[in-house]
């Protein structure tokens, strides 16, 4: 998973293909729970490019996008948001994969 470094990188990267941006933070316990299985999720959805956005570094973007709970996933196709899995609840591998399956069809 590529880590977004700058806001310009975010805007540039979501322009091509299907991009999944995961908003997270180092201090978030629910985010740490999903970390071990994220490589497996990425492998299953190899048609998508995954990006990690540190919520604390992109706080203005989170506010602009109404991302108030983490971990959260926003999916873009050629720069347009097509789906989001945004909530403050802990997410399971099954829930994340089900969400990504619904947008990859």
Q: Which residues are catalytic?
A: 28, 31
The number of angstroms, rounded, from the C-alpha of 12 to the middle of its chain's C-alpha atoms is: 15
Instruction: Decide: 85 and 92 in contact? Cβ < 8 Å.
Output: no
Q: Which of 3, 45, 43 is CA-nearest to residue 22?
A: 3
């Amino acid at each position: 998973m590529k880590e977004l470094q700058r806001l310009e990188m975010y805007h540039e990267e979501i322009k091509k293909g299907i991009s999944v941006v995961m908003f997270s933070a180092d201090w978030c316990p629910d985010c740490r729970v999903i970390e071990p299985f994220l490589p497996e999720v990425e492998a299953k959805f190899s048609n998508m490019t995954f990006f990690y956005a540190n919520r604390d570094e992109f706080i203005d973007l989170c506010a602009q996008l109404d991302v108030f709970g983490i971990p959260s996933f926003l999916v873009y196709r050629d720069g347009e948001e097509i789906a989001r899995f945004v909530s403050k609840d802990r997410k399971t591998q099954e829930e994340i994969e089900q969400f990504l399956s619904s947008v990859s069809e």
